[in-house]
Structure 1
Amino acid sequence: MRARMALPAALAAALFALAGCGSNGSDDMGTATPSKTASPAQPPAGSDESGTGKSEVPVPEALTFKATTVDGKPFDARTLAGKPTVLWFWAPWCPKCKAQAEETAKVAADYQGKANVVGVAGLDTNAAMQDFVSDTGTGSFPQLSDETGEVWKRFEVTEQSRYVILDKTGKTVYEGVLPGGKGLADKVAGLTG
């Protein structure tokens, strides 16, 4: 694969040099020079291959996972990079989780575009997870079906009704229970304000 990439790059560099153009961070085709913070294993969220000059956001290790939502859609956590993120770990049969649902949905709506809120369901079947989302009205933000517990393990969550809050760099700034979701809005406001 390197050989296939090296030849066009060498050809483009030769044409660029022959044209006598200076370096301005983009080649003569208008594509941005790759960021030194991005790596092939972790492409930046919102990377721009069209050459429009949008800034690239480095993806922290914490957000380099993929999952499936309760409605069967693929989910790539790299899309969360660059904004504070709330991961809400819940189980469908958990009364504490049901008590957190309303406040968590409110925070997701109030901070849409400024922070990410993602539910991570586990400890039951996907059918039960779908029922919980429907019953609690939490379908307005992503809900992951983590039946195998991979995301739970990644964040070292060992019980339901937990929040893991990451700042915009992917660093965990809070991990714990917020009864009824109380205090969640304040924690998110402190990261977005």
Structure 2
Amino acid sequence: MLVRRFAPAALAVALFALSGCGETDSPPSAGPATDGSAGTPSPTVTSPVPRTTNASPSVAVPESLKFTGTTLDGKAFDGAALAGKPAVLWFWAPWCPRCRAQAAATAKVAGDYQGRVNVVGVAGLDKADAMRGFVTEQKVAGFPHLSDEAGAVWKRFEITEQSVYVILDAKGNKVFTGNLPAGAGLSDKLAELVG
């Protein structure tokens, strides 16, 4: 008789577990990937994209945006958050004169197109302290910058030198890759994408 009373409850618990109810959207609690040299956090390219993103649930995440990293202020960054809007990835190095010349124009574009275009700096070819110094000195703190010491994001986008812009349309397709001296023409390229 005791078995008959508990059998329906046990069946309900089993069905609940099998249905996936109670599953959370929390990402695994693993720490940031390291490059192995000194335990320095570095961006990692992952697939599939972690389920917690800032992207709208109805926006498909293109393959080009399936990467993660760490910002210069130590926060986790998911490329999927860029989905659904045009994006500018600015690959720079803190010691680069061309990058310094592009800083003001890039910051202006980030401000002018805020909410319509995502702008992200991808710093590499140096250490995080130098990268943070560049952001402060060049006054480009108005948009996120990734610390890509290991070059994972640079490799993903096939960047072989500093001072390169990669412009993606709202679907994640590359529409421009190259250097724009002093950032000239960046705003015009984005105006074409946002209409």
Q: TM-score range by the shorter chain?
A: 0.7 to 0.9
One-letter code of the match for 2:98?
A: K
* TM-score of the pair, normalised by structure 2: 0.75
Q: How does 1:1-193 map to 2 (within 5 A)?
A: 6-7=18-19, 41-42=48-49, 45-47=55-57, 56-193=58-195
**Residue-by-residue CA offset, 1:162-191 (whole Å, 9 max, x unaligned):** 000000000000000000000000001110
4+ aligned runs moved over 6 Å, structure 1: none
User: How far apart, in 1, do the equivalents of 2:135 and 2:20 lie?
Assistant: 49
User: How far apart, in 2, do the equivalents of 1:173 and 1:135 lie?
Assistant: 30
Cα distance 1:8–1:177, how it changes in 2: closer, same or farther (>3 A)? Answer: closer
* TM-score of the pair, normalised by structure 1: 0.75
User: How far apart, in 2, do the equivalents of 1:145 and 1:8 lie?
Assistant: 36
Cα distance 1:57–1:99, how it changes in 2: closer, same or farther (>3 A)? Answer: same
One-letter code of the match for 2:80?
A: R
RMSD of Structure 2 on Structure 1 (CA): 1.8
One-letter code of the match for 1:99?
A: A
Structure 1: stretches of 5+ with no match in the other structure: 10-39, 48-55
**Residue-by-residue CA offset, 1:80-101 (whole Å, 9 max, x unaligned):** 0000000000000000000000
Matched-pair identity in %: 59
Aligned to 1:132, what secondary structure does the other structure show?
A: helix
User: How far apart, in 1, do the equivalents of 2:56 and 2:170 lie?
Assistant: 14
